[in-house]
Chain A
């Protein structure tokens, strides 16, 4: 019944917008009467006294302006059309919105094959209360810190920065949660890194000691007689500014240049760096030593690898060796969700080592249960 009212009003809206005045009048009257019979609560909600008064006022103003410019007859005709159009459009909007709810939208997107869009809408609805709560907290902090009215306005950009940064962090958390739950509907098909052994994903803030922890871990494993295969990437500094990376084989300690800042010409693979085949070759050689009983150490996988390039083919080959004792993959924090989406592991643990200090290597060892 309600759907019939919505269809009638939608057809009437099209006629009153684009049809001749006589047809528009009849279409509007029939549709409004039908809607009143078929869905009276929606029509009552849409055409409240205040709304009808505003519509009549708008029509009268239009009629007066047109009458002043082109004569009273034209003014009355145009004013009448405006009245009809606004009445029909308002009633149509009220009936359609009453018949379309969130569940209908979500099931319609799923039926139409837009499952991801439905999930995005669902995520928006789920995170809305959290976001509103965060916005309230940010506003309270802004008011408390800026007592003077002028400061309120002057520091509004700062308020925007904090609110937007919080929003981005919630988005990162949602992405990580989706990846950890194996939610694949939002992801695109890409590389898949199979890992049949326990895998430690090591992360942390830039320069927090991730590479040092992997070097120390390699030493501890060597002391215990556990074979290793892998490499670390060491930052190259010039006047305290990072200008590139070298690759170092953890077993042979051979070192080769991997990446250097590109300068004005722009980098490769969408990064700021140009890459050297020599560095990738050394990475391949280091990983080719992977054998049963050995621990694979990869420091680190970046955006290039997560797109399937760089070290990734060599890492995939190393991880496919049967009987490995474990694997350690270093990745920057912002790429953890992407790595988890890429990783097809039976047993994985994420370890943020920023606050672990000298005990980071032992913690990684414990996570590997070795």
Chain B
């Protein structure tokens, strides 16, 4: 079928995501809003899962991610590597989950989990790249000491880190299911299921 809609939908939903990242995203990052990564992650999930539900074609999420990065760099957002890597990873994770698991609610939840669980991993990776393995190791030691001082001696930093990964991932899975529900209402509203 010679259908241009997957391309225009990817362009428009990528534009919406990029515009939200460049405006709301920049505001929450500059304002140091708590859980800003999780908040912007769920905004991205909403755009990607809705796009994939309305246009269930492989690759649309990656294309929307490319558009969002393009707009983020060339508009208000500027060239900040963290959010750009975040957008790329998020679009890749949702694409893999939605393509690999058939594009249903379960795929949305798995995509949401993978997307937000990679946030702490991404931060750790950047720290490892910029500051080196010694700084990562020292940060883990500092974390263990801090937790011990708070009254939890013997808790290993690796356990704390993976707990954070699973907790943010779970928030992402809930966000993914919510995005799936919202996208169902969008589909009904525009008559995509007529």
A binds B: yes
In the complex, what residues of A have CB within 8 A of residue B16's CB?
Answer: 131, 135, 163-164, 167
The residue of chain B having its C-beta at the shortest distance from the C-beta of A17 within the complex is B129
Q: Which residue from B1, B5, B8, B189 sits with its C-beta under 8 Å from A161?
A: B189
Chain B binding surface SS class: helix
Q: Which residue from A127, A168, A172, A333 sits with its C-beta under 8 Å from B15?
A: A127
In the assembled complex, the CB of B55 is this many whole angstroms from the nearest CB of chain A, namely 9
In the complex, what residues of A have CB within 8 A of residue B50's CB?
Answer: 164, 168
Task: Let me know if B153 is at the binding interface, CB within 8 A.
Answer: no
In the complex, what residues of B have CB within 8 A of residue A89's CB?
Answer: 81, 130
User: Do the beta carbons of A190 and B2 come within 8 Å of each other?
Assistant: yes
With contacts A74-B134, A124-B11, A334-B191 taken as known, whether A168 is within 8 angstroms of B4 at the C-beta atoms is no
Residues of B65-111 contacting chain A, CB below 8 A: 66-67, 70-71, 73-75, 78-79, 81
The docked-state distance in angstroms from the alpha carbon of A131 to that of B71 is 13
Task: Let me know if A241 is at the binding interface, CB within 8 A.
Answer: no
The residue of chain B having its C-beta at the shortest distance from the C-beta of A162 within the complex is B189
User: Do the beta carbons of A174 and B134 come within 8 Å of each other?
Assistant: no
Task: Let me know if A2 is at the binding interface, CB within 8 A.
Answer: no
Q: Which residue from B12, B139, B141 sits with its C-beta under 8 Å from A131?
A: B12
Most buried by B among A128, A164, A337: A164
User: Do the beta carbons of B1 and A66 come within 8 Å of each other?
Assistant: no
Q: Which residue from B73, B142, B186 sits with its C-beta under 8 Å from A65?
A: B142
Inter-chain contact total with CB atoms closer than 8 Å: 189
Task: Let me know if B40 is at the binding interface, CB within 8 A.
Answer: no
User: Do the beta carbons of B12 and A306 come within 8 Å of each other?
Assistant: no
User: Do the beta carbons of B66 and A128 come within 8 Å of each other?
Assistant: no
User: Do the beta carbons of A171 and B138 come within 8 Å of each other?
Assistant: no
Task: Let me know if A123 is at the binding interface, CB within 8 A.
Answer: yes
In the complex, what residues of A have CB within 8 A of residue B1's CB?
Answer: 188, 190-191, 303, 306-308, 338, 342
The docked-state distance in angstroms from the alpha carbon of A66 to that of B133 is 10
Task: Let me know if B18 is at the binding interface, CB within 8 A.
Answer: yes
The residue of chain A having its C-beta at the shortest distance from the C-beta of B9 within the complex is A171
The docked-state distance in angstroms from the alpha carbon of A179 to that of B131 is 52
User: Do the beta carbons of A102 and B19 come within 8 Å of each other?
Assistant: no
Give per-residue flags for A165-200: 1 if the beta carbon is below 8 A from chain B beta carbons, else 0.
101111110110011000110111111000000000
With contacts A120-B10, A135-B19, A167-B13 taken as known, whether A69 is within 8 angstroms of B74 at the C-beta atoms is no
Task: Let me know if A205 is at the binding interface, CB within 8 A.
Answer: yes
The docked-state distance in angstroms from the alpha carbon of A165 to that of B9 is 11
The docked-state distance in angstroms from the alpha carbon of A165 to that of B189 is 7
In the complex, what residues of A have CB within 8 A of residue B152's CB?
Answer: none
In the assembled complex, the CB of B168 is this many whole angstroms from the nearest CB of chain A, namely 21
Task: Let me know if B54 is at the binding interface, CB within 8 A.
Answer: yes
User: Do the beta carbons of B4 and A78 come within 8 Å of each other?
Assistant: no
In the complex, what residues of B have CB within 8 A of residue A307's CB?
Answer: 1
Task: Let me know if B159 is at the binding interface, CB within 8 A.
Answer: no
Q: Which A residues contact B (CB, under 8 angstroms)?
A: 17, 62, 65-66, 68-70, 74, 78, 81-82, 85-86, 89, 93-94, 96-97, 101-102, 105, 116-117, 119-121, 123-125, 127-128, 131-132, 135, 157, 160-165, 167-172, 174-175, 178-179, 183-184, 186-191, 205-206, 303, 306-308, 332-334, 337-338, 341-342
Add 4 more A-B contacts to A120-B14, A189-B2 (CB < 8 A).
A82-B131, A157-B178, A188-B1, A206-B194
Closest 3 CB pairs of A and B: A69-B138, A171-B12, A187-B2
Q: Which B residues contact A (CB, under 8 angstroms)?
A: 1-5, 7-16, 18-19, 46-47, 50, 54, 63, 66-67, 70-71, 73-75, 78-79, 81, 129-132, 134-135, 137-139, 141-142, 178, 182-183, 185-186, 189-192, 194
18 A–B contacts, CB within 8 A, in A order: A66-B135, A68-B142, A70-B137, A78-B131, A102-B74, A117-B63, A160-B46, A161-B182, A164-B13, A164-B50, A165-B186, A171-B9, A175-B4, A178-B8, A187-B3, A190-B1, A306-B1, A333-B191
